[in-house]
Amino acid sequence: MSRAAMSEDEAAQQAAVSRDAWTQPGPQTVVAGVHRIPLPLPMDGLRAVNVYVIEDGDGLVLIDGGWAIDVSRELLERSLATLGHDLRDIRRILVTHVHRDHYTQAVAIRRAVGAQVALGVGEQDSMRELMTGRSGMLASQPARLRRLGAGSIADELAAVPVDLADTLAYYEDPDVWLEPGRVELDTFALDAVHTPGHTRGHLVFHAADRGLLFAGDHVLPHITPSIGFEPDRPPFPLRDYLASLERVLALPDAMLLPAHGPSGGSTHARAHELIAHHEQRLTDTLAALVSGAGLAPEVARILRWTRRGRSFTELGLFDQMLAVLETAAHLDVLVLRGDAARDDASGTVTYAALA
């Protein structure tokens, strides 16, 4: 290997280390009285989820709870001790959305210390399915994939043994189904803002007087959030997501406090980048239709994926599933805009570019 090639490899390794620095354990103070605690996500490419601790009067408020696994609970307890607190100080947990890495540990903490759990009212239908079906987020995906012409991926998914008992045991109703609007705390004012797209009931929490936005998975600094991966998927999740980004841009700009990735920087700047990304994606998706692709998986195989520009075949099974579903979401927006037509009369959804 040449010295130049070695230098490029070293630079890539250093960049990866820098990108992952936010996952280092222990509390990080964002501003006075607000702390970021990254908690681990084993076997998850996201590496960690940020739980934000707000010191509010004589107690604590959490934004998101993490995933209910032992290593996460232990690290949360150690991190709180570093701040001079323990689990018993947690009074409320405001959860941005229903995914397990945000919700399940909130329920575990409630069972342990009685903390109040609040979740967006728009997550009710997904919660019903999770509580009654006992089959997790993947339950509705195989049928959806088959309708899109991705039966082989659906079959592979169905063949993968998944034990969801531990995760599903923590899906139960919150204490409060939270409507958009003001959330009054003792010393901290938050506005819950409905931002569907990642999930249909996703909320962000805007602290206008502090210049902070607790963004959950709506605005992430390094990646584009998945769209509509939930049991109760809406018909046009990408349309909803783009509208939600505009809703965030209508708020006063604030420091971005994401669920995955480092905190800091302008929420508005990143929202503009995400909108530009999806507009380019829509252009590339339309070009794939013009080239003759007519099924979502065919289009997905033409597009490139991740910031490394990987081919579809380089993705793992779970990411191939997400790629097909997100491609379909882009195709449906092209239909809404009058750039494409959709036909599902045969039972398989096909698309065609319009002049």
Radius of gyration of the chain (CA): 21
**Residue among 34, 295, 304 nearest 150 (CA):** 295
Note whether 352 and 152 are within 8 A (CB).
Answer: no
pLDDT at 101: 96
pLDDT at 278: 98
- Cα separation, 20 vs 103, whole angstroms: 23
Tokens of 62: 């959490």
pLDDT at 288: 98
Paired sense of beta strands 34-40 and 48-56, if any: antiparallel
Residue 249 is classified by DSSP as: H
Which stretches in the chain have pLDDT values below 50? 1-17
pLDDT at 189: 92
List the beta bridge partners of residue 48: 40
- Cα separation, 66 vs 41, whole angstroms: 9
- The dihedral of CA 141, 147, 152, 153: what is its sign? negative
pLDDT at 148: 97
Structure confidence by residue, pLDDT tens digits, 107-126: 999 999 999 999 999 999 99
For residue 338, give Cα distances in angstroms to 24, 75, 212, 223. 47, 50, 38, 28
Instruction: Report the Cα–Cα distance between both ends of the chain, in Å, rounded.
Output: 50
Residue 310 is classified by DSSP as: B
- Say which CATH topology domain 14-266 has: Metallo-beta-lactamase; Chain A (3.60.15)
For residue 79, give Cα distances in angstroms to 16, 25, 239. 25, 8, 39
Structure confidence by residue, pLDDT tens digits, 295-352: 999 999 999 998 889 999 999 999 999 999 999 999 999 999 999 999 999 999 999 9
pLDDT at 206: 98
Structure confidence by residue, pLDDT tens digits, 130-145: 888 656 677 778 899 9
Residue 138 is classified by DSSP as: T
Neighbours of 234 (CB within 10 A): 17
Q: Return all residues near 192 (Cβ < 8 A) that are at least 6 apart.
A: 94, 120, 178, 179, 180, 181, 182, 183, 203, 204, 205
* DSSP string of 170-212, one letter each residue: T----SEEEPSEEEE-SS-EEEEEE--SSSTT-EEEEETTTTE
